[in-house]
Amino acid sequence: MIEQISPVTLSVQNLYRHFGALAVVQGINLELRRGTVLGLLGPNGAGKTTTMRMLTGNLAPSRGHIEICGIDLLDKPRDAKAHMGYLPEKPPLYLEMTVNEYLQLIARLHRINNQKIHAAVDSVKQRCGLADQGKRLISTLSKGYQQRVGIAQAIIHDPDVIILDEPTVGLDPNQMREIRVLIRELGAAYSVILSTHILSEVESVCDHVYILHQGRLVFDNTLAELKRKETNLEMLFSQLTLDNEYIEST
């Protein structure tokens, strides 16, 4: 329902990326709408990280078109990136800083007005369950709380599109559950692309799923439709990617 009426926040057309002779991303089309969590699934080496690096403006496409909130990422990278928040697989944290120092630094890098920095840091800490952690050194936080700081840095400038690359890797089950609740909340307010290897995570968090295999999108549908058809995501994934080793390891 939401997908029918919400504005498009990210539009990707005919995206390609080659590394030398290796075609890693081959003609991807993708659309993300406000209020949606989109799960990007694929076996190892499918091209997920390469795709996300292009969507966040960290890697130039060989070909294709990316618009963030209607702004062309290649023509106006600074304007487009202002609408985008990114948590890479390895969170870009300065462990020797306190949570407050780090988030203030990130706010400055996003050119948030000096007078608004404290309010922005307070608001994002509240949102990410870090309200009592401001004076802690990041190095002393648990991995789950460090991941919250990683998410906080991705959303401090109030972006429309949030891209999270395997945000629950290495977390214990309680931390995973908490981060998933947070992602769900972010998805309701913004729009999120979530890359993960955990199929149950997609089922519990995402509204829409895309499956990438050998650089091509081989599946694109809503979770509601999968449920309606009683499709088993694990079976579907296995059939589409023919990578049983991956399924067994998750």
Ligand X SMILES: Nc1ncnc2c1ncn2[C@@H]1O[C@H](COP(=O)(O)OP(=O)(O)OP(=O)(O)O)[C@@H](O)[C@H]1O
Pairing assessment for the beta strands 63-68 and 8-19 based on DSSP bridges = antiparallel
Choices 18-26, 90-98, 200-208, 232-240 (CB under 6 A): range interacting with ligand X: 18-26
**Cβ neighbours of 184 (radius 10 Å):** 15
Choices 19-27, 73-81, 145-153, 198-206 (CB under 6 A): range interacting with ligand X: 19-27
From candidates 8, 24, 71, 137, binder to ligand X by CB under 6 A: 24
Report the residue number, 45 or 92, with the smaller CB distance to ligand X: 45
Q: Does 185 bind ligand X (CB under 6 A)?
A: no
b/e map of 35-44 (b: 16 or more CB within 10 Å)? bbbbbbbbbe
**Cβ neighbours of 108 (radius 10 Å):** 12
Q: Does 250 bind ligand X (CB under 6 A)?
A: no
**Cβ neighbours of 80 (radius 10 Å):** 22
Whole-number minimum distance, CB 145 to ligand X, in Å?
Answer: 24
Separation CA 92–CA 153 (nearest Å): 9
The residue type of 234 is: E
Report the residue number, 44 or 200, with the smaller CB distance to ligand X: 44
Report the residue number, 4 or 249, with the smaller CB distance to ligand X: 249
Whole-number minimum distance, CB 7 to ligand X, in Å?
Answer: 28
Report the residue number, 117 or 171, with the smaller CB distance to ligand X: 171
Pairing assessment for the beta strands 22-33 and 37-41 based on DSSP bridges = unpaired
Per CB under 6 A, contacts with ligand X among 26-85 are: 42, 44-50
Report the residue number, 9 or 49, with the smaller CB distance to ligand X: 49
The residue type of 135 is: K
Closest to 41 (Cα-Cα) out of 182, 205, 171:
205
| Count of residues near ligand X by CB under 6 A | 11
Binding footprint of ligand X on the chain (CB under 6 A): 19, 22, 24, 42, 44-50
